[in-house]
Chain A
């Protein structure tokens, strides 16, 4: 599944701003991109780049699970379902009570790498006329 860049039409601007941006864009494309970003996310941090990215980078791999919270929640919600994770199940903090199911199981891929498998030669396909790639 390929991921395409969004077309510029996503970011709507008024007539005046658009002309301004177009001029800027000719000179400094980065600034135009920055304006687009700020238009979409007005609360974006003041400092450019900055510590937010760095802290996120340093905390990669951090998982949160509190057995106390978990058992309390289970006790309170005896008859109801425990809340399941939303789409972002890597950031388990705050209101969400993590369950053992949230922590992805420690997988291990003790399967031989496919790189070590037999090579797929296209020479046969080529001779027969390759499938159509547009």
Chain B
């Protein structure tokens, strides 16, 4: 992986600082449910940044080319395209309301001038093509410039239409709709490294699709028990290996990860590898299983490691070692003594995501109070930052935040009981090669960059 900016940073070192770059979205106090951002994803080059929201809409931002006359707008992201991806539906047969919320967006690697992405709600995956149009044909024979049909009998001569430049128009069109393959709610989609297939995972099943074929998909994992009373765990996330097109992993609500190899059998109910950290039985409590549930799993860019996020921590696993993670990072350990309240207000079920930087040297994940955390795997330093309008002056350096866990609260620290649990950062994304991060704070999208020297 390009070691461009990844080398120095991402972590909490003194040699590295994050600055505010941009914030998108309204400043309203009253946030409409539809405006809540539900997914954020950079494309392979990092030039495009897509967001999905609870209202089923997708907004794509494009990075501006660096401009010598406006050096301060270095790589700003501006709106490129926006469209309604999914709409609310009602399944009358099952009496089931289907939300339009976009659960995940995944980009396809770019193969021509157009851009393609997959977006999914609970039941249906769609392949969208985003293309630019900057030319328009003029001088048609059968219709005039405003589109009205000409009377063919009045046409006395033929002309060849000419292509004329026009203002750039970005169009999004749905090219494939992959429907009716999931009884339960889709939580993940993942594009394969073969660029031809992708997987979609719901609570109990994982399906394999070909991007060109919408009327068939192969079921590759099925953990539904014959008797639903015996249900003990569900699938929480799934992802294809970045290089080996036959390998994928899926995580469970019991804190385990299974790695499967599609070469070994058509139905991958039997895993090839099983990753689980042994639990200390003496510390088991009512909450143990709930907080061990993995909310996100991501392979490193190198393909050698994978990272999982559970309620209180992020763990890095070496694919060669199944019996325990190689690294564990505490995100907000101070919440362990608040689990009772967090259970009562349902926050204990919040699903946080996590991400790697381009060089896999750092990882990032969100927390409450609009805090997000970064860990540098090499220096073992960590930092807590906040996405807030107060620290949103252009190029303002973000000040590290600290949560006070007891005893005397120092100035600038915030006590655990003052944290705002409605301000959750569930979705974050890191540019594939540079130190640019996108952080979704409810209805606002923050973009931060490393300090310009």
A120 touches B27 (CB 8 A): yes
A29 touches B88 (CB 8 A): no
Size category of the binding interface on chain B: 35 or more
- For A50-92 the 0/1 string (1 means CB < 8 A from B) is 1101110110111111000000000000000000000000000
A122 touches B393 (CB 8 A): yes
CB contact between B23 and one of A51, A116, A119 (< 8 Å): that residue: A119
Size category of the binding interface on chain A: 35 or more
- For A28-51 the 0/1 string (1 means CB < 8 A from B) is 111111101110100010001111
Nearest residue, chain A, Cβ from B204? A58
CA distance A132 to B253 in the complex (A): 43
CA distance A43 to B312 in the complex (A): 27
CB contact between A30 and one of B288, B349, B422, B423 (< 8 Å): that residue: B288
CA distance A20 to B51 in the complex (A): 49
Residue B286 interfacial (CB < 8 Å)? yes
CA distance A5 to B345 in the complex (A): 9
Shortest CB distance A87–B (Å) = 15
Shortest CB distance A42–B (Å) = 13
Residue B417 interfacial (CB < 8 Å)? yes
B96 touches A61 (CB 8 A): yes
A61 touches B285 (CB 8 A): no
Residue B24 interfacial (CB < 8 Å)? yes
> What residues on A are CB-neighbors of B266 within 8 Å?
none
Residue B290 interfacial (CB < 8 Å)? yes
Residue A101 interfacial (CB < 8 Å)? no
CB contact between B289 and one of A4, A48, A60, A121 (< 8 Å): that residue: A48
A50 touches B289 (CB 8 A): yes
> What residues on A are CB-neighbors of B99 within 8 Å?
61
A58 touches B184 (CB 8 A): yes
CA distance A103 to B88 in the complex (A): 13
Can you list 27 pairs linking A and B with CB atoms under 8 Å apart? A2-B423, A3-B420, A5-B341, A29-B337, A32-B337, A33-B285, A33-B338, A34-B339, A37-B339, A49-B290, A49-B293, A51-B232, A53-B290, A53-B349, A54-B253, A61-B122, A62-B94, A62-B95, A108-B56, A108-B100, A109-B32, A109-B34, A114-B443, A115-B51, A122-B389, A123-B393, A126-B393
Interface of B toward A, CB cutoff 8 Å:
22-27, 32, 34-35, 37, 51, 53, 55-57, 59, 79, 82, 84, 87-90, 94-100, 122, 184-185, 203-204, 228-229, 231-234, 253, 283-290, 293, 336-345, 349, 389-390, 392-394, 416-423, 443, 445
